[in-house]
Chain A
Amino acid sequence: MRRSIATGGLFAAGSLMPVSSTPANQPAQQSTTQAETRVPATIVDGRVVQPRRELPVLQKTSVLIVGGGPAGTAAAFSAKRLGVDVTLVERYGYLGGLATGGLVLGIFPLYDRNNRQVIFGVGEELMKKLDVLKYGIIDRNKAPIYPTIDAEAFKFVLADMVLESGITAYLDCWGVDAIVDAKGAVRGAVFESKSGRQAILADIVIDCSGDGDIYAAAGAAFEKVKTNIGLISRIGNIDEVDMAVGRGSEDAEHPVTGKPGSGRPSKGRVNDMNGHAGNSTPAPHVNWLNMKGPVGDALDVADLTAMELKHRRGTWSNVEKLRQKPGNEQVYLAETAPELGVRLSRLLDGCKKLTVQDIRSGAKFNDVIGYSGAYANAPEFQIPYGSLVPAKVENVLAAGRCISADFEVADITRLIPVCWVTGQAAGLAAALCIQDKCKPRNVNVTKLQNLLHQQGAYLG
């Protein structure tokens, strides 16, 4: 895996070390002078070749977190609190990942089967910060209705926390490769940005990229899955169509009988959205509209491009259709999400692969780091630390949607609050590695669980 992605390309595959001898904490301005020394790709015998070259080191850090989504930010905040040096890198220009840029505003699944909240820790802290904001979050503590956040409010909360916490963050900076030493252990990652291709050296890397780009580049085994890719949008003036729907409630009136769902549905009836489309958000008169989308390969740029274009066209025409319903004339498309709703792509082969049997049988793990809420017919279940640790590669941890789990389980662990859980655990585990000078797979689990408890996490 690594060879096809590694920076050296054909000439220098697998021989990235030593990366650079430049001192740590190099000021960002100096990278511009280095950029002038770039050697462009050339054509040799009709093949495009990237020459071997030295990369400037942007920074040396203790814990490097690739991806600033729910998992990445949770990891950064929790690790920083233990006093270790944390660097957070995000490919988009804002933090929050799919929770903000993907408009996945529903904080679900938070509750167990008895409607008791089972996800706390950093996630709960973030929601508490949203609580005090006007139009920040709705339906808190109203189980089984799940809370809904506002994307802009959440971007504000995350930006504020990063600025206050002293975390070094790089936005608009795309993690493209792992830096691996001669023993195969990860030593950092390579990034592409307007400043060119740069390296960040780190003791521990947490892969919160969602697609597992870094652990895959480092040679960790993974399972590639394809599933539906959608694009969430927000529509405005929807409250004026139907006030009865209420916030997050799921009851709907039957169009013919007027009673909820009392008629026998005919086979294959065309959906008319009936004015109940989407879920209400903290912003007045605005609903967020989920989209399942077709199955696509989230690691194929052609698929991603096709989805971006077709989803935006499809969303617009669906809103036009919605507007044609009597009474819906005022509905408008407020925005489509900046990011595609990629659900799953790579799933790590970790020390422990969380399986469907585990969650059905209510498996208890000694190295439990948190819970996922109940989802559909799956009850709430424990997430083990082993599912964050790659089976072979050292110095890297996974968090977020790309952790080690069966497809069916990953379909739950990919959801926002569960990403907070795995992110926080990975952040604390990485910080423990720095403090105890150990490898992620040798982390003292009891210590980790105590730290999680101290930070308010729920471990059952």
Chain B
Amino acid sequence: MTFLRRVPRRLIQLTCFVGAVVLIWPLLPWAIAPRSFVQASPFVAFASSIATRSISVGAVLALLIAVVSSFKKRWFCLYLCPTGFLLENTSRAGLRKARWWSKCPPVGRYIAVLTLAGAVAGYPVLLWMDPLCIFSSPFAMNKTTSLISVILVCLGLGVLLGATFIFGMLWCVRICPLSGLQDLLFSMRKALWTRLTASTSPQKFGVARRAFFAGAGGALLAVWARRVGAARYSKSDTLLRPPGAVPEDRFTGLCIRCNNCVHACPSKIIHPDTGREAGLAGFGAPVIKFDRDYKYCLETCNACTQVCPTGALAPLDLQSKNKYVIGEALVDNNVCLVPLGKKECDACERACPYDAVKITWDEEQYIAYPVVNDKCIGCGACEVVCPTIPVKAIRVWTQKPA
């Protein structure tokens, strides 16, 4: 660690900041770089590993950072964190210079405990507060197609920058769950150290009690959120998640709104949700909407599943992705041109990459109409080519159990 002291801290921060931008942009020919960047956060890596009951290769770096941080207090924040670098400089230019926040309680560590406890219940409640995830999100801007999406992807970082400008370093020092987690690790390591070396162990029941309540609260919140999410999904008709998405009850918790999937989608069909589809719990989480001309979930692409840092979208290979059911295409025969005897049309049949739509002749009714079979995964290729105006005759709907 001594060699680091010789290099000015700001220079390391700047290097890390530039490195982060290079990784997320992504300027490297490394498809999973945006995922690896967010996974470097121990908060994200630990909570998502617990929630998904699996350990990703990317989590090893996070473990390393966690170990170093437990010896060197807030080492990550001071040297590596690009969000910290941004906020530090914002606060220098900001309105409040006084260190008034030192009087505030250390909320961050309770958020960390609450989230980790939620993760045990499968729903890491406040994981979206991770600073690396908030930093990563605005990069999705070059794949957004509406002003509302631009606002949504920039919301996190925008709020932090604004708040820091006005109130100073409150977020970094007191609220950030990643710094809170580092504090926890540091004091735990120290406590362990003291217990091993000293004969008397200093007890701090107050901290432990608060941590216990935060944990219990997190677990309860997680159970409640999962039930609400599942109920909401069963009622929804139009909610479509990107391929690889875990079941809806856990999705809104596991998804940290890093918008890496929005950023990765070449078709630009993944949008951050305004809450219209999945309610408050789903605010900012990715949904699929086939609202751009001829763009659908390509059978040649699994980019979104590769960049998710938490496993909210499982890392599927192309073959499995092409079997993942996003939704089901249904035909409204009172709109479709074929059964109504309007113009020659077999657009959906032609467009389907999976041979799932067939215009079928019904000898009994003496009429033809499109029939969707089990091969349909809801990629939307049919919906985007359907020529009916103003509403498509064939549309992808939320899949319902048969």
Q: For B67, what are the chain A residues with a Cβ–Cβ distance below 8 Å?
A: none
Contact of A271 among B342, B345, B369, B397 (CB under 8 A): B369
Contact of B344 among A250, A254, A274, A290 (CB under 8 A): A290
Once A271-B333, A278-B340, A279-B342 are accepted as A-B contacts, the answer to whether A261 and B361 lie under 8 Å apart by CB is: no
A105 to B332, CA, bound (A): 25
Contact of A278 among B342, B345, B366, B385 (CB under 8 A): B342
CB–CB A265/B391 < 8 A: no
Interface residues as binary, A392-418 with B (CB distance below 8 Å gives 1, 0 otherwise): 000000000000000010010001000
Q: For B343, what are the chain A residues with a Cβ–Cβ distance below 8 Å?
A: 106, 108, 146, 279, 290
Contact of B346 among A267, A270, A376 (CB under 8 A): A376
CB–CB A252/B347 < 8 A: no
The stretch of A125-133, A292-300, A381-389 that contacts the partner chain: A292-300
Nearest-Cβ distance from residue A12 to partner chain B, whole angstroms: 43
| CB of A49 within 8 Å of the partner chain | no
Interface residues as binary, B359-376 with A (CB distance below 8 Å gives 1, 0 otherwise): 101010111110110000
Contact of B389 among A146, A228, A250, A269 (CB under 8 A): A250
CB–CB A262/B334 < 8 A: no
A271 to B367, CA, bound (A): 9
Main secondary structure, interface of B, reads loop
| CB of B350 within 8 Å of the partner chain | yes
**Which residue of the partner chain A has the closest CB to B386?**
A376
A264 to B398, CA, bound (A): 10
A363 to B360, CA, bound (A): 32
Q: For A35, what are the chain B residues with a Cβ–Cβ distance below 8 Å?
A: none
Q: For A278, what are the chain B residues with a Cβ–Cβ distance below 8 Å?
A: 340-342
CB–CB B366/A271 < 8 A: no
CB–CB B366/A289 < 8 A: no
| CB of A444 within 8 Å of the partner chain | no
Contact of A376 among B347, B368, B390 (CB under 8 A): B347
Q: For B338, what are the chain A residues with a Cβ–Cβ distance below 8 Å?
A: 290, 292
| CB of A291 within 8 Å of the partner chain | yes
**Which residue of the partner chain A has the closest CB to B338?**
A292
Main secondary structure, interface of A, reads loop
Q: For A228, what are the chain B residues with a Cβ–Cβ distance below 8 Å?
A: 361, 368
CB–CB B359/A292 < 8 A: yes
Contact of A274 among B334, B361, B388 (CB under 8 A): B334
| CB of B330 within 8 Å of the partner chain | yes
Contact of A290 among B342, B387, B391, B395 (CB under 8 A): B342
Nearest-Cβ distance from residue A331 to partner chain B, whole angstroms: 12
Once A265-B330, A376-B346 are accepted as A-B contacts, the answer to whether A277 and B391 lie under 8 Å apart by CB is: no
| CB of A166 within 8 Å of the partner chain | no
Interface residues as binary, B169-209 with A (CB distance below 8 Å gives 1, 0 otherwise): 00000000000000000000000000000000000000000
Contact of B350 among A263, A268, A408 (CB under 8 A): A408
**Which residue of the partner chain A has the closest CB to B391?**
A261
Q: For A273, what are the chain B residues with a Cβ–Cβ distance below 8 Å?
A: 339-341
CB–CB A318/B366 < 8 A: yes
Once A269-B333, A290-B342 are accepted as A-B contacts, the answer to whether A376 and B351 lie under 8 Å apart by CB is: yes
Nearest-Cβ distance from residue B375 to partner chain A, whole angstroms: 15
| CB of B294 within 8 Å of the partner chain | yes
5 interchain residue pairs of minimum CB distance: A292-B368, A376-B347, A261-B391, A314-B366, A289-B341
Which B residues form the contact surface with A (CB < 8 A)?
Answer: 237, 294, 330-335, 337-347, 350-351, 359, 361, 363, 365-369, 371-372, 381, 385, 387-393, 395, 397
For this complex, 10 residue pairs linking A to B, each with C-beta atoms less than 8 Å apart, are A146-B343, A265-B331, A269-B333, A278-B342, A289-B341, A291-B368, A318-B367, A376-B345, A376-B351, A377-B347
